Structure 1
Amino acid sequence: MGTIGVVVNPIAGMGGRVGLKGTDGKVDEARARGAEPRAPGRARAALDRIHELAPDTELLTYTDPMGAAEAREAGFEPTVVGEPEGTETSAADTRAAVDAFLDRDVDLVLFVGGDGTAVDVAERIEVREADTPMLGVPAGVKVYSSVFGVTPRAAGQIAATFEDTERAEVNDIDEDDYREGEVHTELRAVVSVPAAEQRQASKQLGGGTVESLASGFAREVRDGVTYVLGPGSTVGAIKSELGFEGSPLGVDVWRDGELLVEDGSESEILDALGEENVVVVSPIGGQGFVFGRGNQQLSPAVLRRCEIEVVASKPKLDDIGQLRVDTGDPELDEELRGWLQVRVGSYERRLMRVV
């Protein structure tokens, strides 16, 4: 690999575990809720992988907190090409960093963030009429675009080893609508990206009928068990069968006929757990992610105290082929990998592999 420009959005994903479903315009609120920066650790995981595979790669970065420290910690001596304008980083800083990388003819722009950051990077590449490929290290709450590696380490591996490129979509949604339970994706750009199997697909919003699945699940609920119900229409059908609406895009906690937490943060979920707990989630259509996309409230701390039940329609499973996890805890991800029974009907289950 030749030269990579690395830009980190240090606030990306901070709203996930505290239940904000994004950080756009919500940084102060996220911090007030106790949110911790997520992007630096994700950046470091990707850069560690690049250093393992291609230690001679030349890295260009912005000053801290936009990538220089993580590059040095991974073993590189980066060339620092600029710094953020103020004490708080902004989208303008991301765009300026990309301009600096393009001025120096990098072979790849590697960014750490979510869809909003992807839009900022793609915008500058398009305005400059460059064909420089871009690749995302997933760190945001919503990751709808197909320009990201499936995990930070996968992104690092792609960056260090890719040979060919292809075109991929950059999509985004309005976070205010998202918080109100409405998801409307908008195609924002089509860009050059490394061609690799470990890049995620665009998120699909469709799904099949799940009435029998929801009915079968509700029939088997156990007294005294705390159910932590994730986002999405499939789990939403289960919530309706249990007698409440809940949050369509958040995480709800229910036990013995009572809604204990609606649209909860990580800490609220942990406080509501009992002796026996079950997390109920459905994979994201088109991608297969069970954890790590849109449900960061279901943190490693939550998951380690719960059984896991995955539910999905048959068409969705046929489409995605396999399941993925990206909890932010590599040891937990490894524990979750393997074969898993997914409920697909009132009684029926299907074996799916978590990779």
Structure 2
Amino acid sequence: MERGKLGLIVNPVAGLGGSVGLKGTDHVAAEALRRGAVPQAERRAADALARLLPLREQITVYTGRGPLGENAARSLGFTCVCAEEIGCAATDGETTAALGAWIQAQGADLTLFAGGDGTARDVCRTAGPSGVFLGIPAGVKIHSPVYARSPRAAGELAALWLTGKVTQTKEEEVLDIDEDLYRQEQIAPRLYGYLPIPLQKQYTQNRKCASPPDEAASMAAIGCRIADDMEPGVFYLVGAGTTTRAVMEQLGLPNTLIGVDLVKNGQLVGSDLYGQQILDLIRGHPAKLVLTVTGGQGFLFGRGNQQLTPAVLRAVGRENLIIAATREKLFRLRGQPLLADTGDAALDAALSGYCRVLTGYADSVVCRIAPG
């Protein structure tokens, strides 16, 4: 191949609020850092670029200075051309949009961007008519199907595109939600445009879908079964989602729809918990985790539930996962495995394998978990 031009945009604060229970990063980056959040976007961008190392001598990376992409690329030895006129301190949407426009002006063959739905929205604002794009998932909420399933998948698909093994594109939706309303548990994705991405579905995620109202009876049956099976003296972490909310409704307890609650002996121990808070409460005690599948996408971990950090998941243990989903939700995945994208490759591998998914009061199916 001729020397390729790879664009790279990193939103360094993307996903910062996820692990500390802030359900996004817009307007709350400082609070996330105060709570002990550790930035992950640069590392996830580097994870994607690592899949391009065999092509390193054939690629020039066009990117922003410092944390906007340069750090991740240079850490792996890639040749970089940086947008010197774009400051590296700003992390707002205007910076992302300006960097995207600059990369397109350089004639990039493909632009990778690390972030969440807000980052995709900003990239979309200045996308040129001939550009090709692909998201590296690093945000809290990722409804948009312009993202790869994981950083690894983003890098692998980028390699296929740059070497001409994948040549077709498909326009996919750029969706975003109002994070302030999201924190009030009002979820209403809005369409902001389309981006062409390399067409190879096994590497990219689907659009997130809500559970339809006609699944209410199935969810209630699931909630009843889990509540009936709860053991005395055991902590139960109840993850985000409408399916898991049915458990709290059966117990007659308030629920955090997009957070993690903790229950013991039928009583609420803590609401809307995250990371270290969870560890402090369950340390030294038996604990189980109730969670569901992200509708349309199939993620168990890594989309909207980053409060369940790798440390929390290791403390609970794979054997103590209670996975629930309606048959209709699983059917819509069309045979796709359930996905783990925790940000810890070793943990993703440990979580992989076959598992039982509760689909009704007395019904269950066996599904496979795979790394994202």
Q: TM-score range by the shorter chain?
A: over 0.9
Shift of 1:257: 2.0
Question: Mapping of 1:305-316 within 5 angstroms?
Answer: 305-306=315-316, 307-316=320-329
1:206 is aligned with what amino acid?
Answer: S
1:200 aligns to what?
205
Question: Mapping of 1:172-191 within 5 angstroms?
Answer: 172-191=176-195
Cα RMSD, aligned residues only: 1.3
Deviations 1:17-51 (A, max 9, x none): 10000000111111111111010110110011122
Question: Mapping of 1:321-332 within 5 angstroms?
Answer: 321=335, 322-332=337-347
Find the residue that maps to 1:45 and give its secondary structure: helix
Distance 1:55 1:198, change over 3 A: farther
Corresponding residue to 1:231 among 240, 243, 259: 240
How many pairs does the alignment contain?
A: 352
1:155 is aligned with what amino acid?
Answer: A
Deviations 1:32-91 (A, max 9, x none): 111110101101100111224565222111111111111011221211123543634221
Check conservation: 1:54, 1:160, Cα contact below 8 A: no
1:59 aligns to what?
61
1:200 is aligned with what amino acid?
Answer: Q
Percent identity over the alignment? 39
- Higher mean C-alpha displacement, 34-43 vs 138-147: 34-43
- Higher mean C-alpha displacement, 217-226 vs 254-263: 254-263
Distance 1:152 1:86, change over 3 A: closer
Query: Which runs of 5 or more structure 1 residues have no equivalent in the other structure?
Result: none
1:350 is aligned with what amino acid?
Answer: V
Find the residue that maps to 1:109 and give its secondary structure: strand
Check conservation: 1:108, 1:132, Cα contact below 8 A: yes
Corresponding residue to 1:317 among 330, 335, 338: 330
1:32 and 1:96 mapped to 2: Cα distance?
Answer: 29
1:231 and 1:313 mapped to 2: Cα distance?
Answer: 15
Find the residue that maps to 1:305 and give its secondary structure: helix
Check conservation: 2:64, 2:88, Cα contact below 8 A: no
Off by >4 Å, runs of 4+ in structure 1: none
Query: Which runs of 5 or more structure 2 residues have no equivalent in the other structure?
Result: none
Question: Mapping of 1:240-251 within 5 angstroms?
Answer: 240-251=249-260
Check conservation: 1:63, 1:83, Cα contact below 8 A: no
Check conservation: 1:64, 1:83, Cα contact below 8 A: no
Shift of 1:278: 0.8
**TM-score (structure 1 length as normaliser):** 0.96
1:337 aligns to what?
352
1:193 and 1:91 mapped to 2: Cα distance?
Answer: 21
Answer yes or no: is 1:279 the counterpart of 2:289. yes
Answer yes or no: is 1:218 the counterpart of 2:223. no
1:265 aligns to what?
274
1:211 and 1:280 mapped to 2: Cα distance?
Answer: 14
1:170 aligns to what?
174
**TM-score (structure 2 length as normaliser):** 0.92
Distance 1:55 1:224, change over 3 A: farther
Check conservation: 1:137, 1:155, Cα contact below 8 A: yes
Find the residue that maps to 1:218 and give its secondary structure: helix
Question: Mapping of 1:94-109 within 5 angstroms?
Answer: 94-109=96-111
Deviations 1:85-109 (A, max 9, x none): 3634221111111111111111111
1:86 and 1:100 mapped to 2: Cα distance?
Answer: 14
- Higher mean C-alpha displacement, 295-304 vs 340-349: 340-349
